Structure 1
C-alpha cells in the first residue's frame, strides 16, 4: 500500500471515527462531563496556540481563565483543570480502543500474514520446510512481563477497553455509549500504593484473557501450516513473570509475596483450564471417555477453587487423561470433537501447572552481603572473610561449593533473610509446577564471576544439592563498563570446574541478560545500543569456543529509550556473529497493552517475533553481519556520542533540572508501583540511585526524550566532518541493526516537542541548559533526516507517525496544565494545603500523558 493510501486509511478509520465517537461523551448523563466536554475544544485550541507562540504555561492558563468570569476564584480554576484531566484520560482510552478496533484496516497492512506466507512457501519447497522444522525444534520466544510502571490502566479499565474494541468494531453505538458511561464512573487511579501481589494480579489479566488463548492458536496454526502432528512441535512460546519475584531495588517484595504470586498464578491457570474443560465436557458425552473426564473434573475443580497449601505438579496426570480421551475419540467415535481436546493439550503443554515462569532478581551487592553474612556467622565453613572479599581471583579460588547446610538468625538484615528464604522457597514452587515454574535467578549489576559463583554457593548452603540444582544463574550486564567486562566474566565462569559441570547438567545452556534502560542512563542512546550489540558478538564467540548454547535475554523495555521500538526488525538483523536461537525480552507497561492487549495484536506481534527468529538464520542479509570497517565507524560514532552524553550528565544542573522542572518528585506520590522511584529512598538524590524508569519517564513528561536521541546528532556530524558519511549511509541502507537504531531514534524525537518548554530558555538558572538540549535535538533532527532521505521524522512509517501526532495533540492540554502547576509551585507563595493540591494536579497529569504514549513501543 502506498504512503498516501496508508495516510488516507488511517484518517478515515481512526481519526474520523475517533472524532465521531468522542462526541458521545457529550451525551453522557453526567452534567460536569458534558460541561467539560463542551469547553475542552476551546481549551485545547487555546493551549495549542499558546505553545506555538512559545508562551509560558502560566500565560496560557491565566489568559484562558481571563476570558470567562466564572473562573475568577482559584478554587473554581483548579476544579476545572482536574475535570479536564479526567476527561482527557478517558479520551485517550477511546483513542486506544478506536485504533485497536481498526487494526486490520490500518495496523500493519503490509506485514499481516507474513509468517503464514513463509510457511506456504515451505509447503512448495521441501528443503525450506525441513530447515524451518529443524529451526523450530531449537527455537522459542519468551516474553517476560514486568511490573515497571510505564502504563497505568487498572484492571477494570483494561476490561472496558477490550469490550469497547469489540463494540467499535461492530459500530454498536448503544453498547459504545453504555461502555463510555461505565468509563466515566470507573476510577483511573489507586487510592493506595499497590503491593507486588496487586501488580501481579493486574498483569495476570493479560495472561488469562490474551496469552492463554493466543499461544494455543499460534501453535495450532503452525501444526496446520507445516502439516505436523501435534506432538512434533515443541513449545515455541514461553512466558516469564517478574512481579512478586523481582526484588531488585524493591524492599516490598518478600519471600511471602513471591509465594502468594506463585500460588495465584497457578490458581488462575486452573480456572482457565476449568472453563475450557466445561465446554469440552458439554460436547464429549460418549462411551469410554467418562473415567478420564471424571478424574479431570476433580483435578481442575479442586485446583481452581480449593487449592492446596503445598500443591504438587499435576501436569503429567492431566496430559495422560487428555490423551486417553483423545484416543477414545479417534478409535471409537471418528475423531468427533478431538480438536477441542488437542487445544487443551496444547495449552497444558505450554503452561503446565505454573502458567508463567516466575523469575527472581536481586542486586549483586545484596547477594554479596548475604554470602559474607553466612561466612562470618559460620566459622565452620573454613572460609576467611578477608580472603573471599579481597581480590576477584581469591574469591573464585576459595568458594568451596560445599553442601554444608547453614542457618541464619531472625535478627539478620531483612534483605539477607529474604534472599535466603526465597532460595528455599524456590524448591516448593518447583514441586508445585515443575522447574519451569521458577528456574531463573537474575543477578542485577553483575560485575564479576564471583557474583554468580557466590550465589551458587548460597543455594548449596540452603539445602540444594549440586546434582539436582535445577536453577539457571543469569547475569545481568547493564552499564557500559559492565558490558565491556561481560566477556571476561563469562570466560571465567566457563573455565570454572564446578560451574562448567553445572552448565552441563542444565543442558549446556547459559542465559545472559543484557540491560537497556540503565545502559541508556549510563552511556547515552547510541553507546547503549552499540555496547549491547558489541557485547553480544563477544559473548557469542566465547560461548561457541566453549560449546555453550547461549540465550540472550534482552531488557528491551517499551519506548526506544528503554530499548523498544521496531523490536522484530532488531531480531531479524542479528547477523552470523550473534547467537539468536532464542528470543527473550521484557515487555512492560504500554508495550503490554499496545502490542499484547488484544487477541489480534498479541497474535500479530508474537508471530512477528517468531518470523524474525526464523529468517534471521534462514534468510540472513549480507549487510546484517558487519564488516571490520563498519564496526570501526559505529564504534567511533558511539564514543563521540558517549562523550557528548557524559558532558551532559556531568553538568552541574543535570539532576537539578529534572528535579525542578519535570514531575520527577511527583512520580513518588503517584500510586502506580510498589517499587520506589529511587534506590536508597531516604537519602539525597544521586543519578546512580535514580531508577531508569523514573529517569526516562521524567524526560518524556518534559517532551524532551533525551535518553532516546542525545548525542546521536553530534556523532553523525562527526562522521560527516571526518569523511565517513558514505559509510554511515551504507550502514543505514544495508544493516538492519543500524537502521533500527536510527528509526527508533526518530520515533523518540517525534514524541518530543521543545515548543512546550520554550519558556524555559528565559529562565535565569536553566535557560542555557535548555538551549543546549534543544540544540542537540535540532542537530540530530537535521542529520537523521539527511541520513534517511526524509523531509519529516518517521516519514517511512506514516501510520505510526500519524498515531503519535494524534496522541500528542490529545495530551497537549495535560502537559500545559502540568507545567502550569510546576511553575506555580516554584513561583508562587502557597500554604501547605495549596501545595498539596498542585502536587496532586501534577501527579494526575502524569497518568494520561504516559497512557497516551503506548505507541512508543
Structure 2
C-alpha cells in the first residue's frame, strides 16, 4: 500500500521490532505491511495482487508526467474487473487511509511535544500569546480585561458531512492508542509482537465491519454520537486547558495568577435542536436530547467523584479539616438519612465525597435530596478544596479537585448548551395562522413593514393564547418547541437551552416575531412602553445569502430603533448575537462574493452595535471545506475586520471535523489554544493595517465580477444541475445514510431538484468527491483577470502582502486549487457526456484561476510557501486516484443496471457508498 512496502515483509517487521518507531514514514510502512497481512488472510492472493497492481499503476501515472492517458488506461482495466474485485479495492484503499490518518494524527501530537521540548514556548499556544503581550509591554490590567473577555465557543452540529458510522469511529479510536504504543522503546520483543498482533486484530475487525449504515440515523442516534465526543475527549481536555492557562500566566503575568479566572471556553450543540429542514427533529426529540445530555454529564461526574474518593485517603489522625467541612458532612449525612460508613471514620474527605456521590445519584434519577443546581455542587467541591488548602493539601486542591471544579463550571448539569434553529419561513407560517385566527388575515402576503407593525403591536398586547388543539400540526409544532425550551429551563436552568437561531432571516419581523411566538410559552414579556421587558432566550438572526448579508446591518439597526426590542436585549445583558452563514452564501454567490459579503457584514454590524451601545457577538457558521468557510482558523481570526476584532469566537464544528479535531485530547487542546492565541494577539494589536478606499473599491469589484462568472455557470437554465447530478455522485450521496436530514430542501416532480433547493453540504461534498472543489475557487480567476486588465496587478499584490483578509482569501483558494485534480475531474465529466460543455468552462476557469493566483502571490507553483501540505497532497494522490477510478466504474454500472436484479443494484450502491467514505478518508475532507 506504499512504495516502501516492496521491502521484504518479514525483514521490515523485524527491523521495526529491533528499533523504536521514529517518524511518520516508518509508521506508514508498518501499517501498510500489517494491512497487507490482513488482505491476504481475508481476500486471498487475488485481492492482494489487484491492490498492488492498482497501486503501482497510479504511482507510475503520477511520476511519468502523462497522468490523464495512464489513468484512462487504468480505468479501462478496472472496467474488466468483476463487481466484487472493485468493492475489494475500495475497501482496501479506504482502510489504508483510515490507518494512515491515525498515524498522521499521532505524528502531529509527537511533533508538537518535540517542538515544545526544543523550542518553548510552543508556537501559537496560550503561553506564546501572553509572552507576546508581555514583550509588547501591555499592562497587566489591560491583559486582565482581555482575558476576562476571551472566549472560544464551539458549537457541535449534526450536519451531514461525517460519512463514517459511530461503530467505525469507535474501532478507529481503539486503534489509535495501539499505534501510539509503537513509540515505546521499553517494549520487549515479545511485547512488540503481541502489540502487532493486536493491531492486526483491530484491522481485521475494521475489514469485517461495514462502513455504511443500513438505516438513516435518527436525531437521537446523532445525539448519542455527539455525547460520546463531549463526555470523552472534550471532557478530558477541559482540565488540560485550565493547566495550560495557569502555566501561561505563571510564565508571563504571574501577578495575575491568583485571580479567579473562569475558563475561556463554552460548549454548544445543535444536535437534537436543529430543526431547519429536518422534520425528524421535534419538540419531543429536543426534550429527550436535553435529558440525555444531563444524564451523560451527571454520570461522568459520579465516575470522577468515585475516583477522587478512592484517592483522597487523607486521615484525620494525620491532618485536620476545616470546621465548615465537618459541619457539612454531618448535615448532609442527616439530611440524606444515611448512617456513617465505619471504614471511613477517620477519612473525612472520603466521607464528604461519598455524600456528593449519593447526591449526584439522586440528581440523576430525580430522587429527593439531589442537587438543585451545579452551583450547589460547586459549593461542596470548593469546601473540600478550601479545607485541603488550609491543611497542607494545596497541591491536591490545585490538582484533581480543581480539575473537577473546572469541569463543573464548563459543563454544568447540561453538558452543552442546546441551541434551537428553525427556518424563518416556518415561524412566518405559524404567525400567519395565529394572526388569521385573531382576525388579521394575510400576514404572509403583507409587506415587510406591515408584518413588522403587526408583530410589534402583538408584542405590546396580550399573547394569542389559543388552545393548541385549534392549530394545525405545523403551527402546533412550532409552539411546542418553545414549550420544550421552557420545560428544559425549568429542570436544567437557563444555560441548558436559551438560544433560538432564525435561519434565512430576511427582515426585522423574522426576529421580533420569534419573540412573539416565544411569549406564548412564557419565555419573554414586554411591559407598557417596553420598560419592563424581560426574556429567558436569545433570538439570533442568521444571515446566509448574499442579499441578506448586504443589508443585515440595516435590519439590525431597524430592530434596535424599536424601544421594546432594545429593552429585550438589555434584559439579556445588552448582548446582540448575529450569525453569518458561509455555506449557503457561497452556494448563492460563489467563493469571492461570499467571503467579501461576510467581511463587510461583520464590519457594518459592529458599527451598528457600537452606535446603539450593545455588545455584538458574531457566530460563524463555518464548515470543514474551504467552500464552506473552512481553512486555518488562526488565519480566519486575523482576517476579521478591525471593528469586529474581539477576543471572542463562536463557531460551528461540523461533521468529520469534529472527529479530526476532538478525537484526541492533545489535538483538541492544540485546536483551542491556537484559536485563543489568535484571539489574544489580534485583539490586542493596536496598529491595524491601512485598508485604503482603493482596496475596498477593488475588492467590491472582484466580488461582483466573480459572482457574475459564478452565476453564469450555475444559474442559467437547468443544464448545470443536470451536469452536476450526472458528473458527481450526488444522487447516490442522497441515499447514503449520513444523517437524519435530507440532502435537498424539496424535490420537484419526477425527482427533479432545482439549484436553489440543493443543500450546501452535499453540494460541496459532491464537488470534493470529484476533485473539482468548485465552491472553493470558481470565479476568482475571472475576477483577478479583469482586475489585471484594468492595471491593478501591483495593487492586488500589495493587498496580498498587507491585508490579512485578502491574503486569507487567496491562500485558501490555493488549497482548493492544489487539491483539485482536473485529470480526475475530466473522467467524472465523461459520466455526463451530453452536457460536457459545462466541464470545459470549469476547466478553463481552473486554469485561469491558477495562473492569476500565481501572478498575485509571486509563486511558480501552488502551495510553494506551504511545502509540507504540498508534499502530503502529492503523496496521497496516487492512492486516492484508485478510489476515484473505482467510483467512476461503479457509478457507470449502477446507473446502467436499472433493469437488472435488485440484489446486484443493492451491492453496487453499497460499493458506491463505501467509495464515498473511502475518498473522504483519503482527502481528509467531505464538505
TM-score by length of 1: 0.92
Q: Which residue of 2 aligns with 1:83?
A: 88
Instruction: Give the unaligned 5+ runs of structure 1.
Output: 1-10, 72-76
CA contact (8 A) 1:48 1:812 kept: no
Q: Does 1:210 align with 2:233?
A: yes
Q: Which residue of 1 aligns with 2:630?
A: 564
Q: Does 1:256 align with 2:284?
A: yes
Q: Does 1:732 align with 2:800?
A: yes
Q: Which residue of 2 aligns with 1:276?
A: 304
User: For structure 1, which segment, 330-339 or 594-603, has the greater mean C-alpha deviation from structure 2 after superposition?
Assistant: 330-339
Q: Does 1:632 align with 2:697?
A: yes
Q: CA 1:53–1:371 in structure 2 vs 1: closer, same or farther (change >3 Å)? A: same
Alignment partner of 2:889 out of 820, 829, 841: 820
Q: Does 1:27 align with 2:37?
A: yes
Aligned mates of 2:799, 2:286 — CA distance in 1? 46
Aligned mates of 1:16, 1:403 — CA distance in 2? 71
Q: CA 1:146–1:472 in structure 2 vs 1: closer, same or farther (change >3 Å)? A: same
Question: Would you say how many aligned residue pairs link Structure 1 and Structure 2?
Answer: 832
Cα deviation digits, residues 191-218 of structure 1 (max 9, x gap)? 1110011111112222112211212221
User: For structure 1, which segment, 368-377 or 242-251, has the greater mean C-alpha deviation from structure 2 after superposition?
Assistant: 368-377
Q: Does 1:770 align with 2:839?
A: yes
Alignment partner of 2:683 out of 617, 622, 625: 617
CA contact (8 A) 1:141 1:609 kept: yes
CA contact (8 A) 2:639 2:808 kept: no
Query: Per-residue deviation at 1:716?
Result: 1.0
CA contact (8 A) 2:486 2:522 kept: no
Query: Per-residue deviation at 1:326?
Result: 1.1
Alignment partner of 1:780 out of 836, 840, 849: 849
Matches within 5 A, 1:415-426: 415-426=474-485
Aligned mates of 2:467, 2:778 — CA distance in 1? 48
Q: CA 1:100–1:128 in structure 2 vs 1: closer, same or farther (change >3 Å)? A: farther
Matches within 5 A, 1:521-536: 521-536=587-602
Query: Per-residue deviation at 1:374?
Result: 1.5
Query: Per-residue deviation at 1:269?
Result: 1.0
Alignment partner of 1:458 out of 517, 527, 550: 517
CA contact (8 A) 1:267 1:303 kept: no
Aligned mates of 2:824, 2:470 — CA distance in 1? 52
Cα deviation digits, residues 473-516 of structure 1 (max 9, x gap)? 00000110010120111011111111110000000001100001
Q: CA 1:408–1:616 in structure 2 vs 1: closer, same or farther (change >3 Å)? A: farther
Aligned mates of 1:113, 1:608 — CA distance in 2? 5
Q: Does 1:752 align with 2:816?
A: no
Q: Which residue of 1 aligns with 2:375?
A: 316
Query: Per-residue deviation at 1:793?
Result: 1.8
Alignment partner of 1:722 out of 766, 784, 790: 790
Q: Which residue of 1 aligns with 2:421?
A: 361
Aligned mates of 1:211, 1:690 — CA distance in 2? 33
Q: CA 1:372–1:579 in structure 2 vs 1: closer, same or farther (change >3 Å)? A: farther
| Higher Cα radius of gyration | 2
Alignment partner of 1:804 out of 873, 894, 897: 873
Alignment partner of 1:155 out of 162, 166, 169: 166
Q: Does 1:181 align with 2:209?
A: no
Matches within 5 A, 1:503-652: 503-619=569-685, 622-623=688-689, 626-652=691-717
Aligned mates of 1:643, 1:510 — CA distance in 2? 33
Q: Which residue of 1 aligns with 2:732?
A: 666
Q: CA 1:121–1:554 in structure 2 vs 1: closer, same or farther (change >3 Å)? A: closer
Cα deviation digits, residues 634-671 of structure 1 (max 9, x gap)? 11111110110010112332100111121111112111
Instruction: Give the unaligned 5+ runs of structure 2.
Output: 1-20, 183-194, 317-325, 327-347, 526-532
CA contact (8 A) 1:37 1:87 kept: no
CA contact (8 A) 1:47 1:816 kept: no
TM-score by length of 2: 0.85
Cα deviation digits, residues 258-287 of structure 1 (max 9, x gap)? 111111111111122122211211122344
Cα deviation digits, residues 275-307 of structure 1 (max 9, x gap)? 221121112234444563233111333445x36
Q: CA 1:134–1:761 in structure 2 vs 1: closer, same or farther (change >3 Å)? A: closer
Aligned mates of 1:83, 1:389 — CA distance in 2? 57
User: Structure 1 stretches (4+) deviating beyond 6 angstroms?
Assistant: 123-126, 308-312, 760-763
User: For structure 1, which segment, 409-418 or 97-106, has the greater mean C-alpha deviation from structure 2 after superposition?
Assistant: 409-418
CA contact (8 A) 1:575 1:621 kept: no
CA contact (8 A) 1:591 1:854 kept: no
Alignment partner of 1:713 out of 777, 781, 796: 781
Q: Which residue of 2 aligns with 1:3?
A: none
Cα deviation digits, residues 174-200 of structure 1 (max 9, x gap)? 443333233223332211110011111
CA contact (8 A) 1:573 1:620 kept: no
Cα deviation digits, residues 123-142 of structure 1 (max 9, x gap)? 67874443222101122110
Aligned mates of 2:424, 2:778 — CA distance in 1? 30
Aligned with 2:88: secondary structure? helix
Q: Which residue of 1 aligns with 2:267?
A: 239
CA contact (8 A) 2:359 2:369 kept: no
CA contact (8 A) 2:362 2:370 kept: no
Cα deviation digits, residues 573-631 of structure 1 (max 9, x gap)? 324222534201111122212222211111111101111111111125532x6221111
Query: Per-residue deviation at 1:82?
Result: 1.3
Aligned mates of 1:761, 1:252 — CA distance in 2? 35
Q: CA 1:449–1:674 in structure 2 vs 1: closer, same or farther (change >3 Å)? A: same
Q: CA 1:855–1:802 in structure 2 vs 1: closer, same or farther (change >3 Å)? A: farther
Aligned mates of 1:412, 1:45 — CA distance in 2? 65
Aligned mates of 1:163, 1:777 — CA distance in 2? 41
Alignment partner of 1:831 out of 884, 887, 900: 900
